[in-house]
Amino acid sequence: MRTKDLDISKFTSLTDVHSYLDENASKLSSNWDITDLFVKYRDQTVISKEKQKAQWELECFLFEFRGLELMVFSYSFNEEKDEFPKYPNLDEFQSEAFEYIKKRAQEAKNALLIARYNHILWKGPKGIKNKKYAQVAIVNYLNAVRNFIELSKQKPDGKYLYQAVTKYELTCSLISECKEEVKSLKLLTSELLNDSEVSFWAKHSILDDMIKHPKIFKAEDFKGSLNLFKKELDGANKRTDHFLLVNNYLPTALRIASKTKSDNKYWYDQIGECYVQMANDEESPDRLWIKQDNYANAIDAFGNSGNIQRRKEIEQAYYELKPNVKLPSHRIEVKLSEEESKLFKAYEEETRQKIEWLLTLDPSKIYMYLSSSVYFPKFATIKEAVSNQKEKWMDMSRTIEFDSNKNIRSFQGGGSDKMYQEYTLRIQLSVLPFLRQIFAKGIKERVLTFENYLEFLKNSWLGKPYTEIDLGGDLVETNWIGLIAPSVVEYFVQSESSLNAKYYKPNYVLCIDSLTLKFEGLLRDFSSRLNISTSTRGKKGMQENYAHDILGNEIIKKYFDEDDRLLFEYLFLNEGLNIRNNVAHCFYNEKEYDLNKINLLLVTLLRISKYDFTLNKND
């Protein structure tokens, strides 16, 4: 029923409007139909008192209740007072208006209207607010839910059932707030869950609200509720919305199983099977990446249920699918304005001049400059940029990330992920071009050589031998220069050859493989020199920490400045290049062993070399 179809001229007084609402308020399609009715009557009547009362009624129904919050219709900006006034504003209701609402709360005959008026009074300011209003509101909300359920059986189009569950949700919040009529709510809940004419989606909504209010509903209140989910699954067929099952219904079943200490393996198995069905439904070649994601989720679910056989079956299907997966690509060309082009060219010229100037300096000073974080994005700058980013519509969607082997990896979408995304963008735009130019020009002009690079490292802590005692009791001396030198020499030889020979194609596989793994050793050595443990408990006993474990150590973090730490984490953690993992497990193909990676590794060596160790007299 819609009030827009009503002939407002038939209502000669506000009493006529009230009589109509007492009989039909529950049958109206939405809250807005009630406000429309009061607007039409207010605009029609010429009696000033009637206009004022209609306005008060209108404002009562303009509020929306969301949980414990009373939501207003709109906000505006007052330039004179530099504030944001809201409309309607319950604090600005005149005392006369509240007296009128009290009167309406007593006169109204429709449960929905009585609940609304009393709820407004319960949310009123000091002097108006009284717990008795909350109690009356609750009782009438409960009656309104029952009324909507009966209307839904007469007209099962979902509209009235939706009204029932939304009012149920509101009632739960109100009871949670004032701790009244708990037994009455539980009685209504039992009625709804056991009513065969109430749709499953509505029962699920009720169970979801029950979980959200643990102070009201205890484990015993969920007795038998899991059978509702099993019954729904038993009726599943090809037309079943499996997406809805795995993203809405089954997670609720899992939470109930956890709350009631029931076996959750069955529910994880059901989630897995739903994902398999969703995967099987995907047949378009352009959507095979979605099929793969569903397989990945199924594997996780079967892993959680302990269903090893089913997990292995889907792992095989996942593996066989991978070669056929391709992502649709789009090329976006950005045309710079004349002013932007000038700024870009000015930046390029500034960078060229800086490199020219740097290469006039002694090599040690060049390496010292490269060991600083001057030309890299600052941690504080990245953090500020991320915090100032406005929420994008994509933030509300699920992101699927693929590694270089087409495997799907988890993506949290939190602050750290955004930090690395912003850092990556800035590295690609400014740092990598700078490093390519300075190393290429420096090597070509013989200003930068492997000899002076290694000499610079030799004068750092990397050049200080470190002595350990092996299992045989013998002293073993480690010198990092000897371990690093082969890859550094190889890099300079490969680069110089490609710069001087027109058709020579450099190969940086050995350089990158070696330096990557050596950096993990450097981090471990750095920790050992500080007497910080690098051992941890593994599946087969004690083992050495990996690079990401060491970088994640809170004690180690204190020794690196935040800019260096950001670079190290960018190179070696999963959120960034994850270079250690990709090298150790041979995930890179030949093309991925590129100049950018080795340049970053060389600079990272310089960055870690700038630290030093001083022996404390008390040690």
Query: Do both 585 and 503 map to the same domain?
Result: yes
Asked whether residue 49 is assigned to any structural domain, the reply reads: no
Contact 145, 168 (CB under 8 A): yes
Q: What residue numbers bound the domain in which 585 lies?
A: 338-375+424-610
Query: Do both 513 and 596 map to the same domain?
Result: yes
Domain boundary among 176, 199, 217: 217
Report the domain count for the chain: 3
The residue to which tokens 């509720």 are assigned = 225
Asked whether residue 399 is assigned to any structural domain, the reply reads: no
Contact 84, 76 (CB under 8 A): yes
Asked whether residue 24 is assigned to any structural domain, the reply reads: no
Contact 268, 302 (CB under 8 A): yes
Query: Do both 199 and 275 map to the same domain?
Result: no
To the nearest 10 degrees (0 to 180), the angle between helices 509-529 and 562-572 is 130
User: Residue 398: what pLDDT?
Assistant: 60
User: Residue 78: what pLDDT?
Assistant: 37
**Model pTM?**
0.64
Query: Do both 351 and 485 map to the same domain?
Result: yes
CA distances from 317 to 246, 280, 296, 533 (A): 20, 11, 10, 42
Query: Do both 150 and 275 map to the same domain?
Result: no
Asked whether residue 547 is assigned to any structural domain, the reply reads: yes
Domain boundary among 295, 328, 361: 328
Instruction: Write the CB contacts of 272 (distance below 8 Å, at least 6 apart in sequence).
Output: 298, 299, 301, 302, 305, 307, 310, 311, 314
Residue 141 exposure: Cα atoms within 13 Å on the Cβ side: 29
What is the C-alpha to C-alpha distance for residues 484 and 496, in angstroms, rounded to an integer? 19
Query: Do both 361 and 268 map to the same domain?
Result: no
Query: Which residues share a beta bridge with 530?
Result: none
Query: Do both 213 and 269 map to the same domain?
Result: no
Asked whether residue 294 is assigned to any structural domain, the reply reads: yes
Asked whether residue 23 is assigned to any structural domain, the reply reads: no
Query: Do both 265 and 295 map to the same domain?
Result: yes
User: Residue 404: what pLDDT?
Assistant: 59
Residue 210 exposure: Cα atoms within 13 Å on the Cβ side: 28
- Token pair, residue 455, equals 């000499």
SS (H, E, C) 593-619: CCHHHHHHHHHHHHHHHCCCCCCCCCC
User: Residue 74: what pLDDT?
Assistant: 36
Query: Do both 183 and 145 map to the same domain?
Result: yes
Query: Do both 226 and 343 map to the same domain?
Result: no
What is the C-alpha to C-alpha distance for residues 285 and 326, in angstroms, rounded to an integer? 8
Query: Do both 444 and 305 map to the same domain?
Result: no
Domain boundary among 196, 217, 238: 217
Asked whether residue 191 is assigned to any structural domain, the reply reads: yes
User: Residue 393: what pLDDT?
Assistant: 44
Which parts of the chain sit beneath pLDDT 70? 1-5, 29-31, 64-94, 236-238, 328-334, 389-416, 534-548, 614-619
Asked whether residue 590 is assigned to any structural domain, the reply reads: yes
What is the C-alpha to C-alpha distance for residues 612 and 559, in angstroms, rounded to an integer? 10
Query: Do both 196 and 229 map to the same domain?
Result: no
